[in-house]
Structure formats: structure tokens, C-alpha cells
């Protein structure tokens, strides 16, 4: 992991974890994503940015199986995951958070994370009804894991609170803990810093790095440029469903098309 | 909002009752293990002593009390426990629950009269048959949500009743008669001495299932109810119960967190159906004859009313609700034709004072307060190009 910081990302012999190959997503006549190719390498923090409505969340929805792409393939660790059911995609190791926090609001923080941990549990009706030993073991392990993860994201003191009573920033962390509980190899964060104050953003930045350091790959959508420039290994920019730039943070910052997409083209120039 | 809390007497009464029931709830949650077992034991002793004449003369002056305790009271409680799995825990609205009760009942009738099987064999087969029919109904329809699912289940309930009405093999509108009682296990009689007499069960033969005494049937029902409670409670506290709760709260998010939602919804349906079927087998074995009109839509509605009235999702509440819904109409039989009117008025008044149910689970109460999750809600949609805008407005 320490190499990552030293060697420029483009020269790193990256092993692709997630590949989007020629993804097009149409809703009726609207083209939300147009022929998108994207490769995310193992162990990197990859940021997807772009103006509102550029199709970033649609990319997440395609990757996690919420939408079936109209055209193209989604390849995760050498096997196709487009067409797979959503919970199967999660079991393979892709987990996400949501742009608008979507916790199970009336369950406790602990229960929320346990639902994530249950993704790999095998207890069925009989096991649970009879209280069989492996069920008890899974419950115990699940709780230990949930506690550990809530400590990891920094909400260890609020485990038994009802999710909706947590402060907003903590709800976002809880969502990350819930996603981590499914043991993802690839974690998708949809605007994790939205609504956070500067201190919280700084902590979040540290958290995302620590997640990467545990051997996971992070793909994030974010609008906060200082956060993105601070932690991303590589960045791709979407505008109107098309990739208009991809590269290192420094390259993106000075890219003319990116600046135009964000600020608009001057009227006399067009 | 807060002002009206202080001024409106109705709201104040609601508040008073809520804090009372919450304090009991909290005390129970923190009670040590032994204290809970003491309470369980007391409840079982109470349930055993319940058919005593002394209690019956007050509770049921018009009808034979032990028979009443078996059905409708016991039967409704069992059905409500089953329906609560579907409605209260998994959050799916089922308006045709009576279908599974009917399938259990007809299973008992057909296998008992045409094949000569014994009650115990049929109980197992009837439960499996009902569970299977729940899966058959659920497999194609559980992709539907909320109101749409409710309509399909409503139709299923009617289909089952109409089929029974038009199928000569099972007697058509005349139904099936001569259904055997459960075989007598033992003629053993509870000794007629001090202690047992004191709780009013001296001289009862609890395992002899005849035509006259309702008590043995009631005890059998009691055993089934206790088994159902233990079964459902264990599921609730496990991965299965968590999956149901997450589906109820946000089905799409649950699926994305690795919950195979379809499988768990189907399981909830099958379990609800199995419990309903067990109730049907029990009912038919005591009733001797059954006809299609024993299984009307209004029974589905009544059981649903019991679940909602008691507090959807919370077992003690659901049991209390079923008890009241079964018992009140019998207790006021003396009012004759005004009976249904008064019963309806009582239900309306109870729901005015306790819109969230008599003993709601805290979680369900919160869900109802914010109007999300559970019955009738369509479930939120995953944020995408179309729905993101709406979602952002809410945040």
C-alpha cells in the first residue's frame, strides 16, 4: 500500500478490479450513460466526478445491479456481474452507500450493521428456530464484527441507539459500517461528505484512506473538490453521461474540458 | 403540535397510556432472566386455569366458555400470530389469510373422512400443505408490493372459497361432515382434590377429545399457540427477523446489503400460511363438519383487525388484540342485533385512543408515526436519474 503513494498511479502495474466495458444506459429516450469505459484497479481510491445529472449515481446503480445496462458489460474480478441480482452482487464483494442516507431508520445501529454482516451468514429458518449451534456462533461472530466496524468508523459509543436518532454525520458513518460488514472488496461511496462540516470531512478523508489500507478498493462520487484532490489516486469526469476526462488529480485540475463542464463555455466562444 | 398535546384531552389520554405501556416495556426489556421465566410460568398457569367455571360465568354468560376459548378465541390468537409474521414483521399486507385456514380445515376433513388418517398425521400434512400453498401463491406474486399484493391475496382468499363451493369432491356448498375428532391420548383424569379444584380444573380429562367437553381442545390449542410463539420469537431474534425488519423498512436498501428479499418474503408467507393451516386443522377436528361459508373474507379482515388493533409486529399486543376481537362479540351476545354495531363502535373507539395498537412494538410505532414502511406503503425507490430528485427534496 505504501507504494501507492510513492509511484504515480498511471505507472503502477494495476490489477483491474472493476471494468465497465462500453456501458450505455437509456431510460426511454434519455441517455443517462453513453458508451462508458472505466477501469478501476485493485487498492486504489478512484473518484467519479461531474456536474449534477452527469450520470454518476447511474453508474453506481449499474455496477450494483439496480439497473441492467442497455448495452455493455460490467466485469468484477474477471467475471461479469451485469444481469446478476442485487444481493448476489453484494455477496461477490461490491457494497455501496447511498446519496440520501438509506439506513433502516427504526432499527438500532447494531442491527443495521448486523443486516450487512448477515450477507455471508447461512442460517436458515430451521437453524434459527431450533437455535442450532452454528446459528449461535454466527450471531456471536456477527455482533463482534459489527462492534469492531462501528469502532472503526468512529461510532462505537452509539451502537444501541436507533439509527434515525444519530446525528447526520454519524448516520453516514453507520452506512459505511453497514456496507463494510458485507466484506466488500470494492466499496462504492455516493457523496459521503454531503452535509458534513469541515471537521467531519477531514475525519472522513482519514476513514476512506484507512478503508483502502485494509486492502479494499474505493470508488467514490463526491462534489467536494478538496476532499477528492486530497485522497484520490485517479479521477474520471462525467458530463451528460460521457467520460470527458480521466487521470491523476493534478491532470484533472488543469483539464480544459473539465473546467468548461463545471463553469460552462463562455457565450462568445461557442 | 406540542400545544395541542397539552390541551387536547384525547391526546393527553393517549400520552398517559403510552408512557404507561412504555414503562412496562422498558421494565420487561431490562428484567433478569429468572423474572421473565416466573412471568412465563404464571401466564401458563393462568392459561391452564382459564376454562374454570368461575371465570367462565363472568367472561361468557351466553356460550360454553371452554368451547369459546378453543374457537374463536384460541383460533383467532393462533391465526393472528401467523398473520403477524406476514403483516407485522415482513410488512406485507395479506387480505386473503383465511385461505390458509381453509386449506388446513379442508385438509383435515378430506384426509380424515376419505382416507381415515388420524388427526396427528393430518396436522403435519395440513401444515405442510398450507405452507406449500403459501409458496405457490407467493412465488409469482411477491414481486408486487403494498396495495397490489393486498389485492392479489384478497383474490386468492376468494378463489379458495369459491373452489370449495364448486368442487363436488369436497362436498360443494354442503361441505364435509363426520370429521373425526383427535384420537384420545389417555383417559387420565385430573385428580378432584384441593389444589386442582381451587384453580377449577379438577375432574377434567385433558387428553380425551370427545364431542361435549371443550377443555381438551382448548389445551391442545394452547400447546399449538405456545409452540407458535416460541417458533416466531426465535425467528424474530435471528437473522431471519432482521431480514424481515430490513425489508419492511427499505426493501431496496435491504437487497443491496445482501438480503435475498424474495426468499425471505416467501419464507414469511410460508410460515404465516403454515400457522394458519394448523389453525384450520384444529378447527375442523373439533367442528365435525365444515362448509365453505366457514371461511369468508370477513374472517381475513377480522384477523387483520386483531393484528392492527393489538399492535402490529408485537406478539403480546397481537395476542391481546385477537383475544378482544374474538371475545367481545361473544360477551355482548345479550345485545342481540345491536351486537355488531357495538362491536364496531368498540373497535373504532379503541383505534381512536390507540392508533398504533394496544401494545405496539416501538419500532412499528415509530414507522407509523412517520408514515413509512409497513402495510400499504410502496417502499422507497432506489435513487436514480428519475427518483434522485424526489429523494433530495426529502433530505
Closest CA to B85 of B362, B349, B312, B332: B312
Q: How many residues does chain A have?
A: 270
Judge whether A237 and A258 are in contact, CB under 8 Å.
yes
Which of the residue ranges A125-134, A233-242, B316-325 would you say has the lowest mean pLDDT? Answer: A125-134
Q: Among partner residues A55, A99, A121, which is closest to B239 by beta-carbon distance? A: A121
User: Chain B residues with CB inside 8 Å of A61's CB?
Assistant: 382-384
Interface A–B counts its CB contacts (< 8 A) at 137
Tell me the three-class secondary structure of chain A, residue by residue.
CHHHHHCCCCCCCCCEEEEEEEEEEEECCEEEEEEEEEEEECCCEEEEECCCCCCHHHHHHHHCCCCCCCEEEEEECCEECCCCCHHHHHHHCEEECCCCCCCCCCCEHHHHHHHHHHHHCCCCHHHHHHCCHHHHHHHHHHHHHHHHHHHHHCCHHHCCCEHHHCCHHHHHHHHHHHHHCCCCCEEEEECCCCCCCHHHHHHHHHHHHHHHHCCCEEEEECCCHHHHHHHCCEEEEEECCEEEEEECHHHHHCCHHHHHHHHCCCHHHC
| CB-based contact A115 B260, cutoff 8 Å | no
Could you check whether the bond before residue B72 is cis, i.e. omega within 30 degrees of 0? yes
Q: Which segment, B136-150, B153-167, B182-196, B361-375, is predicted with the most confidence on average?
A: B153-167
Whether pLDDT at B223 is above 90: yes
Question: pLDDT tens digits for A31-79?
Answer: 999 999 999 999 999 999 998 889 999 999 999 999 999 999 999 999 9
In this prediction, residues B221-245 reach a mean pLDDT of: 95
Predicted local confidence at residue B4, as pLDDT: 46
Lowest mean pLDDT among A236-240, B8-12, B197-201: B197-201
Rg, C-alpha atoms of chain A: 19
Nearest neighbour of B245 by CB, restricted to A55, A107, A182: A107
pTM of the predicted protein model? 0.87
- Residue A24 CA to residue A2 CA, distance in Å, equals 36
Nearest C-alpha of chain B: how many angstroms from A2? 31
**Nearest-CB residue to B242 (from A30, A58, A111):** A111
Distance CA A14, CA A233 (A): 12
pLDDT of residue B306: 93
Mean of the per-residue pLDDT values of chain A: 90
Residue A147 binned pLDDT confidence (cut-offs 50, 70, 90): very high
Residue of higher predicted confidence among A135 and A11: A135
pLDDT score at B184: 85
Which of A99, A111, A182 is closest, CB to CB, to B388? Answer: A99
Contact status of B250 with chain A (Cβ, < 8 Å): yes
Strand order in the sheet with A71-76: A30-41, A16-27, A71-76, A79-80
Beta bridge partners of A79: A76
Residues in A 95-134 with any Cβ partner in B closer than 8 A: 95-96, 98-107, 111, 114-116, 118-121, 123-125, 128-131
Distance between B246 CA and the closest CA of chain A, angstroms: 6
ipTM for the assembly: 0.89
Question: What's phi and psi for A215, nearest 5 deg?
Answer: 95, 10
> Residue A268: pLDDT band by 50, 70, 90 thresholds?
low
The predicted pLDDT at position B53 comes to 83
Chain A segment 165-224 residues within 8 A of B by beta carbon are 178-179, 182, 190, 195
Instruction: Delineate the domains of chain A, giving CATH numbers in brackets.
Output: 2-93+184-269 (3.40.50.300), 105-182 (no CATH)
Indicate if the pLDDT at residue A135 is higher than 50.
yes
Residue B380, chain A, CB below 8 Å: the answer is yes
Q: What's the pLDDT at B386?
A: 33
Q: How confident is the model at residue A86 (pLDDT cuts 50, 70, 90)?
A: very high
Task: Look at residue B264 in the predicted model and tell me its pLDDT.
Answer: 95
**What residues of chain A lie within 8 A of the CB of B258, using their CB?**
87, 90-91, 95, 116, 118-120, 182
Mean pLDDT of B195-199: 74
Portion of chain A with pLDDT greater than 90, in percent: 76
User: Confidence band (pLDDT; 50, 70, 90) for B336?
Assistant: confident
**Residue from the list A27, A96, A142 with its beta carbon closest to the beta carbon of B256:** A96
Chain B hits for A55, CB-CB cut-off 8 Å, are 385
pLDDT computed for residue B6 by the predictor: 55
- Residue B257, min C-alpha distance to chain A (Å): 5
Distance CA A79, CA B137 (A): 35
Q: What's the average model confidence in pLDDT over A167-184?
A: 95
The answer to whether A66 faces chain B, any CB pair under 8 Å, is yes
Average pLDDT of span A242-258: 91
For chain A, say whether B258 makes contact (Cβ under 8 Å): yes
Q: Which residues pair with A219 in a beta bridge?
A: A46, A188
Chain B CB within 8 Å of residue A61 CB: yes
Q: Beta partners for A25?
A: A33
- Side-chain-side CA neighbours of B56 within 13 Å: the count stands at 20
| Domain ranges, ordered by start, for chain B | 59-296
Q: What confidence category does residue B62 fall into, taking pLDDT thresholds of 50, 70 and 90? A: confident
Lowest mean pLDDT among A103-112, A251-260, B4-13, B235-244: B4-13
- Would you call B158 an interface residue with chain A, using a CB distance cutoff of 8 Å? no
- The confidence score (pLDDT) of residue B354 equals 81
- Residue B155 cell numbers, joined: 383474490
Q: Which three cell numbers stand for residue A132?
A: 442450532
Q: What percent of chain B has pLDDT over 90?
A: 55
Per-residue pLDDT at B379 exceeds 90? no
pLDDT at residue A13 tops 60: no
Do residue A129 and residue B235 have CB atoms under 8 angstroms apart?
A: yes
Is the pLDDT at B139 greater than 70, yes or no?
yes
Is B271 near chain A, with CB under 8 Å? yes
Q: How far away is chain B from the Cα of A59, in angstroms, using its nearest Cα?
A: 9
Q: Is B228 on the interface with A (CB under 8 A)?
A: no
How many beta carbons lie within 10 A of that of residue A110, not counting itself?
19
Contact A61 B382 (CB under 8 A): yes
A234 touches chain B (CB under 8 A): no
Indicate the average pLDDT of chain B. Answer: 85
CB contact under 8 A, B271 and A118: no
Amino acid at each position: 500500500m505504501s507504494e501507492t503513494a510513492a509511484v504515480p498511479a498511471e505507472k503502477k502495474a494495476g490489477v483491474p478490479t472493476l471494468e465497465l466495458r462500453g456501458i450505455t444506459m437509456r431510460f426511454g429516450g434519455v441517455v443517462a450513460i453513453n458508451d462508458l469505459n472505466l477501469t478501476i484497479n485493485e487498492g486504489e481510491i478512484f473518484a467519479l466526478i461531474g456536474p449534477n445529472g452527469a450520470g454518476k449515481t447511474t453508474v453506481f446503480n449499474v455496477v450494483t445491479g439496480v439497473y441492467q445496462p442497455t448495452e455493455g458489460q460490467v466485469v468484477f474480478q474477471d467475471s461479469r456481474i451485469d444481469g446478476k441480482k442485487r444481493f448476489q452482487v453484494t455477496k461477490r464483494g461490491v457494497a455501496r452507500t447511498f446519496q440520501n442516507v438509506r439506513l433502516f431508520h427504526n432499527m438500532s445501529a447494531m442491527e443495521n450493521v448486523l443486516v450487512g454482516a448477515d450477507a455471508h451468514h447461512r442460517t436458515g429458518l430451521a437453524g434459527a428456530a431450533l437455535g442450532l449451534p452454528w446459528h449461535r456462533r454466527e450471531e456471536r461472530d456477527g455482533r463482534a464484527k459489527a462492534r469492531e466496524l462501528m469502532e472503526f468508523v468512529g461510532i462505537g459509543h452509539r451502537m444501541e441507539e436507533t439509527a434515525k436518532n444519530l446525528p447526520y454525520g454519524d448516520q453516514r458513518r453507520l452506512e459505511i459500517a453497514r456496507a463494510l460488514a458485507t466484506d466488500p472488496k470494492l466499496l462504492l461511496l455516493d457523496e459521503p461528505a454531503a452535509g458534513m462540516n469541515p471537521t467531519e470531512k477531514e475525519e472522513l478523508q482519514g476513514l476512506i484512506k484507512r478503508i483502502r489500507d485494509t486492502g479494499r478498493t474505493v470508488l467514490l462520487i463526491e462534489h467536494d473538490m478538496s476532499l477528492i484532490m486530497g485522497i484520490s489516486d485517479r479521477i474520471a469526469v462525467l458530463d451528460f453521461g460521457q467520460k470527458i476526462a480521466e487521470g491523476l488529480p493534478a491532470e484533472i485540475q488543469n483539464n480544459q474540458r473539465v473546467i468548461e463542464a463545471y463553469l460552462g463555455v463562455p457565450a462568445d466562444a461557442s | 403540535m406540542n400545544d395541542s398535546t397539552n390541551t387536547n384531552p384525547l391526546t393527553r389520554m393517549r400520552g398517559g397510556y403510552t408512557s404507561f405501556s412504555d414503562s412496562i416495556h422498558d421494565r420487561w426489556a431490562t428484567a433478569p432472566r429468572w423474572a421473565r421465566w416466573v412471568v412465563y410460568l404464571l401466564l401458563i398457569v393462568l392459561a391452564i386455569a382459564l376454562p374454570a367455571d368461575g371465570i367462565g360465568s363472568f367472561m361468557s354468560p351466553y356460550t360454553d366458555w371452554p368451547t369459546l376459548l378453543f374457537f374463536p378465541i384460541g383460533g383467532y390468537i393462533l391465526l393472528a400470530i401467523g398473520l403477524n409474521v406476514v403483516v407485522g414483521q415482513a410488512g406485507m399486507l395479506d387480505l386473503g389469510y383465511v385461505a390458509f385456514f381453509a386449506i388446513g380445515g379442508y385438509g383435515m376433513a378430506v384426509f380424515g373422512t376419505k382416507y381415515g388418517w388420524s388427526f396427528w398425521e393430518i396436522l403435519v400434512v395440513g401444515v405442510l400443505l398450507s405452507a406449500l400453498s403459501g409458496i405457490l401463491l407467493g412465488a409469482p406474486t411477491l414481486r408486487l408490493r403494498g396495495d397490489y399484493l393486498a389485492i392479489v391475496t384478497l383474490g386468492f382468499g376468494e378463489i379458495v372459497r369459491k373452489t370449495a363451493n364448486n368442487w363436488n369432491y369436497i362436498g360443494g356448498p354442503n361441505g364435509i361432515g363426520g370429521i373425526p375428532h383427535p384420537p384420545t391420548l389417555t383417559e387420565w383424569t385430573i385428580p378432584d382434590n384441593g389444589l386442582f379444584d381451587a384453580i377449577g380444573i379438577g375432574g377434567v380429562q385433558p387428553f380425551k377429545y370427545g364431542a361435549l367437553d371443550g377443555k381438551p381442545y382448548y389445551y391442545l390449542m394452547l400447546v399449538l399457540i405456545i409452540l407458535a410463539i416460541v417458533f416466531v420469537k426465535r425467528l424474530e431474534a435471528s437473522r431471519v427477523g432482521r431480514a424481515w425488519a430490513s425489508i419492511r423498512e427499505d426493501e431496496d436498501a435491504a437487497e443491496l446489503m445482501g438480503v435475498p428479499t424474495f426468499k425471505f418474503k416467501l419464507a414469511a408467507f410460508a410460515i404465516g400460511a403454515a400457522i394458519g393451516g394448523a389453525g384450520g386443522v384444529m378447527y375442523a377436528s373439533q367442528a365435525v363438519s365444515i362448509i365453505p361459508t366457514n371461511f369468508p373474507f370477513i374472517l381475513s379482515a377480522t384477523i387483520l383487525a386483531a393484528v392492527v388493533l393489538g399492535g402490529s409486529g408485537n406478539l403480546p399486543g397481537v395476542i391481546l388484540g385477537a383475544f378482544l376481537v374474538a371475545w367481545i362479540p361473544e360477551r355482548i351476545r345479550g345485545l342481540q342485533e345491536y351486537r355488531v354495531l357495538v362491536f364496531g363502535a368498540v373497535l373504532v373507539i379503541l383505534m381512536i385512543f390507540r392508533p398504533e395498537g394496544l401494545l405496539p412494538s416501538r419500532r412499528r410505532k415509530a414507522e407509523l408515526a412517520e408514515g413509512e414502511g409497513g402495510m400499504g406503503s410502496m417502499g422507497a425507490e432506489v435513487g436514480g436519474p428519475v427518483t434522485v430528485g424526489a429523494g433530495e427534496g426529502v433530505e
